[in-house]
Chains A and B, each alone.
Chain A
């Protein structure tokens, strides 16, 4: 599937996992962090209660390829697009953003329109997220 990777990938994929907003439930964020590390990626987890600005700054400072956002409080429609917006404002619109948490299917089209590359709903396997990142991050 990824025949090119062995030869071309000369560095590890860097990921920032962020918890925007006030929601403190980070079981999922921690599992994703560890699973991506086990898959060979460099992963930074921000910890809970970050503003979109803090997350965007961390993404820039850590020079990540992709940002994963987790929110279970229902504030995703406000917070996720905000992170994309701040990244673009800082000229880092090329950093991909994906999200997960308790996110109703009906909200997904709007989030994608706002620039969120993918939304993973409850029950997603970490392997699917690993595959998604490998397929979408250009490491060449």
Chain B
């Protein structure tokens, strides 16, 4: 079997066949017109970038992902990250918070503070940002999805507490609940009410906080769940369409919401395919927004955040992960990302240590200030190969989008398991390719070291859960319980009337109603997601 290797097709990670050499003919065959299909950076269709200057004035925003244990521990880590020259960060939430459970809920046992920080109420958020003014950080992102509108309300309340003008801050709430049903699994409510709830945050922000980004549609998690580059773009765009159409149905103008949407893609190892993916995405996004009737130029811009893919990191010979992250980061920057998060080399083991975190940030700084790839915009434009790949990805994504449209849109394709199956098939196939050696992973299936390398790993303090529960219990005693009850009743009424829930949530949040109490009210009205055997 091994001997057949040289006869095999050579493909990108998405299965696009790659020829030995590309020429002008490959572009001419597809009717390629550089003026129409590429344009200039900052000009329609934005294939070459959304900004006419790109990184020549300022590099991208280097923002890391952090948060663990208690609010105090996270506060310390954020201060550290900012002191290392990062312009922003993403607030990682623990699973009970993401799923709307108090830290002392039976299902929270063992999970408090583990993959992120525990936020039971606004009190915790106040402590996390103690001494960090929201207007002094370029980007604050958070992985709130099911609880997106609650996180939005908490940040509004925190701005008030800190005396900061929300117009001077940039808060990005992930709030992409649809992908959770397939890839990350933090859904609380059934798909359709979840979609409505997410759009509440978008609708609310469109009117009051036009510089915030209340929706970051994510392909990253599809990718990490095993999707290929084409699937990542297609399924993310399908979800974006669902959010946009719901907002339009509510009477929000496309020009009021399009600029508020950010897209989060993974940066993977197949360098040229990744660059092509981002270029094709910008072109398709601009076309799509135009088709929705967008008039403002900023509505057409595909603003994207890249994150190097955790799933490409390998536990064996972990220092090699620094090299992998560098290649993935290069793809994101050659592809024109607005912001980038780089993984720490120890992610296959645990939450990063400070040392690993520094290397991840420094990797971006070396690319930005030493590599020279930022000197000119879209340096790979005009490469026969990259342009051919860009075109091919666009064709394949559109085929998928047509199929999803025939199924009845993203929600229907999630409900009937189509998206989950497509990803599971691809994921299984790549795993088998790694196991049979067809796909080489250095240190894992080739060039294996005989001895394991020991690296220091980070551990969350065992006392975290206890401390968090004590704080929550104290809060329940100290807050104005009758005011909380009143606010929650108002929320229940709004949920029953199917009006936008952000305002009543904001009022409850300010009275320190915990995330769970808010979610419980909505659970009672909207129903609860029931776990089902997954499509395998």
- The interface residues of chain A lying within 8 Å CB-to-CB of B96 are 22
Distance A12 CA – B424 CA, assembled complex (angstroms): 24
Contact of A46 among B315, B316, B533 (CB under 8 A): B533
Contact A47 B435 (CB under 8 A): no
Contact B99 A30 (CB under 8 A): no
- Cross-chain contact A24 with B184 (CB below 8 angstroms): yes
A68 within 8 A of B: no
- How many A-B residue pairs have C-beta atoms within 8 angstroms? Tell me: 105
Least CB distance, A49 to chain B, in whole angstroms: 5
Q: Given that A24-B184, A74-B350 are known contacts, is A47 also in contact with B225, CB under 8 Å in the complex? A: no
Q: Quick check: is A57 within 8 A (CB to CB) of the other chain?
A: no
For B185, the chain A residues whose CB sits under 8 A away are 23-26, 48-49
Q: With A102-B349, A123-B316 known to touch, is A22 a contact of B107 (CB < 8 Å)? A: yes
CB of B226 within 8 A of CB of A27, answer yes
A78 nearest CB neighbor, chain B only? B110
Cβ of A34 within 8 Å of any chain B Cβ, yes or no, is yes
Contact with B along A25-56 (1 / 0, CB 8 A): 11101110111010000001111111100000
Tell me the minimal C-beta distance from B424 to chain A in angstroms: 5
Known A-B contacts A46-B533, A47-B533, A102-B349; the reply to A77 vs B110 at CB < 8 A is yes
B 42-59 to A, binary, CB cutoff 8 A, 1 in contact else 0: 000000000000000000
Question: Inside 8 A of A50's CB, which chain B residues have their CB?
Answer: 531
A73 at the interface (CB under 8 A from B): yes
Residues of A within 8 A of B108 (CB): 22
| 0/1 string, B75-112, CB within 8 A of A gives 1 | 00000000000000000000110110100000111110
- A123: chain B residues at CB < 8 Å are 314-316, 348, 444
A residues within 8 A CB of B438? none
The verdict on B29 contacting chain A, using a C-beta distance below 8 Å, is no
Q: Mark A106-132, 1 if CB is under 8 A from B, else 0.
A: 000000000000000111011100000
Cα of A74 to Cα of B112 in the assembled complex, Å: 10
Q: How many A residues are at the interface, by size bracket?
A: 35 or more
* B399 at interface, CB cutoff 8 A: no
Most buried by A among B101, B180, B531: B531
Known: A25-B225, A121-B315. A74 touches B427 (CB 8 A): no
Question: A29 CB to closest chain B CB, in angstroms?
Answer: 8
**Residue-wise interface mask of B (217-256) relative to A, using a CB-CB cutoff of 8 A (1 in contact, 0 not):** 0000000111000000000000000000000000000000
Q: Is there a chain A Cβ closer than 8 Å to B431's Cβ? A: yes
Complex partner residue of A30 from B98, B101, B424, CB under 8 angstroms: B424
Flag if B348 contacts A102 (CB, 8 Å).
yes
A29 to B225, CA, bound (A): 11
B350 contacts which of A29, A75, A104 (Cβ < 8 Å)?
Answer: A104
Q: Judge if B115 is at the interface, Cβ distance under 8 Å.
A: yes
A45 to B420 CA separation, bound complex (whole angstroms): 14
Distance to closest chain B CB from A55 (angstroms):
12
Residues on A with beta carbons closer than 8 Å to the beta carbon of B225: 25, 27
A122 touches B314 (CB 8 A): yes
Say whether B311 faces chain A, with CB atoms less than 8 Å apart. Answer: yes
Task: Looking at the assembled complex, report how far the CB atom of B436 sits from the nearest CB atom of chain A, in whole angstroms.
Answer: 10
B115, B424, B444, B457: which contacts A73 (Cβ < 8 A)? B115
Distance of A109 Cα from B492 Cα, bound (Å):
49
**Does B141 count as interface, using CB distance less than 8 angstroms?**
no
Confirm or deny: A99 has a beta carbon within 8 angstroms of a beta carbon on chain B.
no
Residues of B within 8 A of A73 (CB): 95, 111, 114-115
Chain B's nearest CB lies how many Å from the CB of A46?
A: 6
A48 touches B95 (CB 8 A): no
- Check if A79 is an interface residue, CB within 8 A of chain B: yes
Contact of A22 among B99, B311, B532 (CB under 8 A): B99
Q: Is B127 an interface residue (CB 8 A)?
A: no
On chain B, the residues within 8 Å of A74 by CB distance are 111, 114-115, 350-351, 460
Tell me whether B534 is interfacial, beta carbon within 8 Å.
yes
Cα–Cα distance between A24 and B101 once the two chains are bound (Å): 15
Interface residues of B in 485-536 (CB under 8 A from A): 531-534, 536
Nearest-neighbour CB distance to chain B for A18, whole angstroms, equals: 11
Q: Which residues of chain B are within 8 angstroms of A121 by Cβ–Cβ distance?
A: 315
- Say which residue of A24, A34, A104 sits within 8 Å of B428 (CB atoms): A34
Given contacts A31-B428, A49-B185, contact A127 B435 (CB under 8 A): yes
Q: How far is the CA of A65 from the CA of B467 in the complex (A)?
A: 40
Q: Known contacts A30-B427, A73-B115, A122-B315: does B531 contact A78 (CB below 8 Å)?
A: no
B170 to chain A, nearest CB (A): 28
Q: Which residue of A lies closest to B462 (CB)?
A: A77
Q: How far is the CA of A55 from the CA of B274 in the complex (A)?
A: 40
Of the A-B pairs whose beta carbons lie under 8 Å apart in the complex, a sample of 6, sorted by A's number, is: A26-B534, A49-B531, A74-B115, A75-B110, A104-B350, A123-B314
Other A-B pairs beyond A30-B427, A31-B431, 10, CB < 8 Å: A22-B111, A24-B186, A25-B184, A26-B185, A31-B427, A34-B424, A48-B534, A102-B350, A122-B315, A126-B435
The 5 nearest A-B residue pairs measured at CB: A24-B185, A78-B110, A75-B110, A22-B95, A74-B114
**A residues within 8 Å of B by Cβ?**
21-27, 29-31, 33-35, 37, 44-51, 73-75, 77-79, 102, 104, 121-123, 125-127
| Chain B interface residues (CB < 8 Å from chain A) | 95-96, 98-99, 101, 107-111, 114-115, 180, 183-186, 224-226, 311, 314-316, 348-351, 424, 427-428, 431, 435, 444, 457, 459-460, 531-534, 536
